[in-house]
Structure 1
């Protein structure tokens, strides 16, 4: 198994499969919760928000 670059694994998560890059996973077994991406509008590196002001698709 591997955890992709820039991924976040929740505490006490049981990872049973590969975690793709830029993904937040948690639970038992670990399930994808969110996708991370760079926000072109605000200029910050990573967005974990569903705020409508941010991009709706990964850049």
Structure 2
């Protein structure tokens, strides 16, 4: 995440998903929920992906 003053800050960390990557982040139309996927999930296999929802509020 980049703050208003340009500072980089960690927003999200999935410690059990070491062989995966976060993909497809998207906000709901009202901006209150963030959706994303862990491409290979916890076990690193291509068919083990997982989807997540994070509730806000988020600043715009």
Larger CA Rg, structure 1 vs 2: 2
Superposition TM-score tier, normalisation by shorter sequence: under 0.3
Give TM-score scaled by structure 2 length: 0.26
Give TM-score scaled by structure 1 length: 0.26
Structure with more contact order per residue of length (Cα contacts < 8 Å, sep ≥ 6): 2
